[in-house]
Amino acid sequence: MIWRIPHPEFRTPNGEARRNFLKLAAALIADYFLPRRLLARGSSVKPAYRAIVVTFGGGARYQDTFAPEGWVNIPHLVNDLLPQAIFYPSARNEGLTGHFNSSAALLTGNWQFVDSFGSEPPATPTFFEYLRKERHLPVEETWVIATNKSFSLIGGSHGRDYGVPYAANVILPKQLLLEAIQSAVGSPQGPGVEDRESFLKTMLSALDEGYENYGWQVYDSGRKLSQELRQSLAQSLLDYFNDPSVPSSGDELTFFMTKEIMNRFAPSLMLVNFWDIDIAHYGSYSLYLQAIRRTDRLVWELWQYAQSLPAYRDRTLMIVIPEVGRDGDIHGNGFANHRSGDDSCRRVWLLALGAGVPKGTASERPVHHIDVAPTVAQLLGFKMPGCDGKPLVELAI
């Protein structure tokens, strides 16, 4: 059943016809102007649309978010984004309720059962790999920006004929900051840092925000950023932290880095992993709610930023979903964990807005994490043959 908040219906152009025209035009131009030996490299076709998948990483219970008593924690989602969106109040995680496997299900369209702490990549290809291989796109078109430092291997799979050559760039802002800190405070003259000890304390405070802290294992990925790009992005973070008004939060870093990537590359497909909410593992309900409110604000600011950029305005689908809920012991500290497998840690929600979305609507149809990847694939115009999920049929794509 679908119900609608009264609002003019959002209509999209014929995306398939446009994509077919672009493919034909690109092929004709390449065939006419390029030497035959360069045709394969020159046949890259950037999709007409963009997609951003955003996780309420760390996991949030329905009762603390979209249940009426939780609205106070998500004012931007309820008041600013919901009128522009389609809302699925019954989204389900039927896989492992850990962070890596839950987010990997969003990227692959298949439930994942690999190491929960990120020492293994997804078992099946991600939408990054399918997109890049089919469209012959460079790696700059696909990015993961993650607060969770166990996500270094999530950008590509072990899938045969896929993997590292087609994986996404993965940016872990906290890890990048560690390298920047070493550069900034390891010599008498750091790059743009006047008070090095004060700067170091600010950096470490941000890095230590949240359950994982800055000492968690980071696994080496086969997909490497160029040294020039790493230095450039690290310098951006250093400049960012020289601003005395900057908050000390891992998710604030992720948000800043996401804006940098969007500005520099306008990628077609991104996963943005906010994760401060996982501070709930410390057992502090107030810090958990504070992190939900911060994530709510950052999601709203991210959507505003996307609409401010010509490359994204009116051509971007943003999907927001928690990785997991959290355990349902409302009389104890159930909010602190998410591995019981009960309904509270499996039941989440999904909000989609932008390209193809009928605004101000909601669907009671149950949907799943594995439905996100095929929805993105349909919008961007590529195939995911090994995908178990189904596209969100309510979207006009």
Give percent of the chain above pLDDT 70.
Answer: 74
pLDDT for position 188:
59
Residue 57 pLDDT greater than 70, yes or no: yes
pLDDT for position 241:
64
Alpha-carbon separation of residue 56 from 14, 84, 182, 277, 385 (angstroms): 32, 19, 30, 8, 28
Closest alpha carbon to 326 in 257, 374, 280:
280
d(CA 136, CA 138): 7
Residue 328 pLDDT greater than 70, yes or no: yes
pLDDT for position 54:
98
What is the rounded average pLDDT of the residues 9-28?
40
Residue 339 pLDDT greater than 90, yes or no: no
Give the residue, 55 or 208, on which the prediction is more confident: 55
What is the rounded average pLDDT of the residues 260-283?
93
Largest CA distance in the chain: 70
> Would the CA dihedral through 100, 104, 106, 112 be positive or negative?
negative
Q: Which two tokens stand for residue 218?
A: 């980071």
Give percent of the chain above pLDDT 90.
Answer: 56
Closest alpha carbon to 374 in 386, 366, 362, 363:
386
Q: Are 238 and 202 in contact (CB under 8 A)?
A: no
d(CA 273, CA 151): 9
Give the residue, 17 or 180, on which the prediction is more confident: 180
Pairing outcome for strands 269-274 and 2-4: unpaired
pLDDT for position 189:
55
d(CA 226, CA 223): 10
Tell me the three-class secondary structure of the chain, residue by residue.
Answer: CEEECCCCCCCCCCHHHHHHHHHHHHHHHHHHHCCHHHHHHHCCCCCCCEEEEEEECCCCCHHHCCCHHHHHHCHHHHHHHHHHEEEEEEEECCCCCCHHHHHHHHHHCCCCCCCCCCCCCCCCCCHHHHHHHHHCCCHHHEEEEECCHHHCCCCCCCCCCCCHHHCCEEECHHHHHHHHHHHHHCCCCCCCCCCHHHHHHHHHHHHCCCCCCCCCCCCCCCCCCCHHHHHHHHHHHHHHHCCCCCCCCHHHHHHHHHHHHHHHHCCCEEEEEECHHHHHHHCCHHHHHHHHHHHHHHHHHHHHHHHHCCCCCCCEEEEEEECCCCCCCCCCCHHHCCCCCCHHHHEEEEEEEECCCCCCEEECCCEEHHHHHHHHHHHHCCCCCCCCCCCCCCCCC
Residue 1 pLDDT greater than 90, yes or no: no
d(CA 15, CA 397): 7
Q: Which two tokens stand for residue 300?
A: 């709203």
Residue 32 pLDDT greater than 50, yes or no: no
Query: Considering the chain, what is the average pLDDT of its residues?
Result: 82
pLDDT for position 22:
37
Enumerate the β-bridge partners of residue 92. 347, 368
pLDDT for position 5:
40
What is the rounded average pLDDT of the residues 283-310?
95
The structure tokens 């890259």 sit at 44
Q: pLDDT tens for residues 219-261?
A: 766 667 777 787 777 777 766 666 655 556 789 889 989 999 9
Q: How many CA atoms lie within 13 A of 146 on its CB side?
A: 27
Count of positions (residues) in the chain: 397
pLDDT for position 9:
31
Q: Which residues contact 285 (CB under 8 A, 6 or more apart)?
A: 333, 335
Closest alpha carbon to 351 in 13, 12, 104, 52:
52
Which phi and psi (to 5°) does residue 13 adopt? -70, 170
Residue 354 pLDDT greater than 70, yes or no: yes
Q: Which two tokens stand for residue 313?
A: 């305005």
Residue 330 binned pLDDT confidence (cut-offs 50, 70, 90) = low
Q: pLDDT tens for residues 184-218?
A: 666 555 545 556 666 666 656 655 555 555 445 66
Q: What dihedral angle (degrees, nearest 10) is formed by the CA atoms of 214, 219, 221, 225?
A: 20
d(CA 392, CA 139): 27
pLDDT for position 231:
75
Q: How many CA atoms lie within 13 A of 95 on its CB side?
A: 26
Q: pLDDT tens for residues 118-171?
A: 899 999 999 999 999 999 999 999 999 999 989 999 999 987 899 999 999 999
For helices 372-380 and 99-108, what crossing angle results, to 10°? Answer: 30
Residue 11 pLDDT greater than 50, yes or no: no
